[in-house]
Copies of this chain bind each other. A is one copy, B any other.
C-alpha cells in the first residue's frame, strides 16, 4: 500500500516542488483544494500530503528525525529516522513507520512483534527537520521487551550508583509511581521503621482518611483564598496519596490518563455529565 500511495503522490502533481514554508503552504493549500475538490477527494488528500512532504527539510540522505512519544504518559518510546515514504505511510496507516538505515528499507514498528505504535497526532518542529509521532503503543516498544528504548542512565553509570545501569527515563509523575510501586514490592519481608508510603500501603483506613483530608485541604485553598503555592502543595499531597491508592489497586496512571483522553476526545466529561448526571446539583 505504501508504494502505491507514494506513487500517487509523485504522479498526482508536479507544481509544488519548491520547499514551501507553512504559511505559503496554507495559501496554496486552499487553491489546491478548490482546484481538485470536484474531481477526487483521494487526489486532494494526496496533493496535501505531497505538499506537506515538500515542506519538510530532509537531510542529505533524504531523512528526518522521527521521535515516537506515548500520547498518555509522554514517555519517549524510541527514535528513528523517516524518509518521505515513511512519513506518508505513517500518515495513511497511523502506525509509526521509519526508514531503517542499516537495512535500507521502510520499517513499521510492530510489523514483526505486533507492538505497533498507533499514531494519534504528528508534529513538525520549527526547523521542519524533526517529527514527533504522538501515539499509543500496543506493547513494549523496545526489542529487548522494555517499555521504551531509553533505559541506560548515563549519569548513574558515571556516579556508579547502579552497577547494572538499568533505569528507564521517567518524568516526575512516573518516577513517583515507580517509587510507590517499589515500596509496595518491599512490603513483604521488610523490617525496620516503615516509610510513610509503606504505612499508607498497609492501612486502607489511614490512606483513605488522608485522601479525604488532602482533598478537603485543596478545596480550602480556594474557599479561603489562600496563596497559590499552597494550592500547588496541597494538590501534590492529593496526587501522591491518590497514587498510593492506585498502586494498591494495581491501576497505572497511564490508564487514568487514557480515560481522560478518551472522555475529552468525544466531547469529554462535559458530555458525560450532561448525558447522565449522578446527582441533582450536576444538572
- Chain A interface residues (CB < 8 Å from chain B): 22, 25-26, 29, 33, 45, 48-49, 52, 65, 67, 69-76, 78-79, 91, 121-128, 130-132, 134, 142-144, 146, 149-155, 157-158, 160, 163-165, 168-169, 171-173, 175-176, 179, 195-197, 204, 206-216, 218-219, 221-223, 228, 231-233, 235-240, 242, 245-246, 248-251, 255-261, 263-264, 268-270, 273-274, 279, 281-282
B157-A69 in contact (CB<8A): no
Copies in the complex: 2
A160, A209, A269: residue with the most chain B Cβ atoms closer than 10 Å: A269
B residues within 8 A CB of A79?
65, 67, 125, 130
B residues within 8 A CB of A216?
212, 215
B222-A248 in contact (CB<8A): yes
CB distance from A259 to the nearest CB of B (A): 4
Of B76, B173, B176, B260, the contact of A132 (CB 8 Å cutoff): B76
A154-B212 in contact (CB<8A): no
